[in-house]
Amino acid sequence: MEPDKDFNLTVGLRIREIRETYHMTQAEFSERCNLSESFLAAVEGGRKGITSKTLYKICTEMNVSADYFIRGKNNGFEVDTLVEIINSLDKRSREGALRMLREFADVVYQLQTKDRKEK
């Protein structure tokens, strides 16, 4: 594979990982990030690359560092702290904590969306 294709595939797989972490379909993720569903599918499959503008949209909407998509690292202090706390829990508690965090993130997203529409 060519280097650009490898990079596109790597970024696409990381985008898919984020989408699946939030249990979102491609349609839901596309709508949230203001992308076409066919474009998202092509990016996730490594057939298309993304621009810095598209990367910014995804990072902003999903609250993920661009560093993660490019280098595979997400070194924010808050993220590391959350990971440490969650990893210290037993499996059942960890699953519950992740479920609560996902629900919290959904509520925050809904409130932010409502605020944007009111402006």
All structural domains of the chain with their residue ranges? 1-73, 76-119
Confirm if 12 and 92 have CB atoms less than 8 A apart. no
Separation between Cα atoms, residue 27 and residue 74, nearest integer Å: 25
Q: What confidence tier does 96 reach under pLDDT thresholds 50, 70, 90?
A: very high
Q: What confidence tier does 76 reach under pLDDT thresholds 50, 70, 90?
A: low
Separation between Cα atoms, residue 74 and residue 71, nearest integer Å: 9
3-class state of residue 106 by DSSP: helix
Please, which residues have CB within 8 angstroms of residue 112's CB and are 6 or more apart in sequence? none
pTM of the full predicted structure? 0.60
Mean pLDDT (whole number) for 89-115: 90
User: What is residue 77's predicted lDDT score, i.e. its pLDDT?
Assistant: 44
Confirm if 48 and 39 have CB atoms less than 8 A apart. yes
| Ramachandran angles phi, psi of 95, nearest 5° | -60, -40
Scanning 1-119, the segments in alpha helix (DSSP H) are: 3-21, 26-33, 37-44, 52-62, 66-71, 77-87, 91-118
Using one digit for the tens of pLDDT, what is the confidence trace for 12-64?
A: 999 998 898 889 999 999 999 999 999 999 999 999 999 999 999 998 888 78
CATH of domain 1-73: 1.10.260.40
**Residue 1 or 85, more confident:** 85
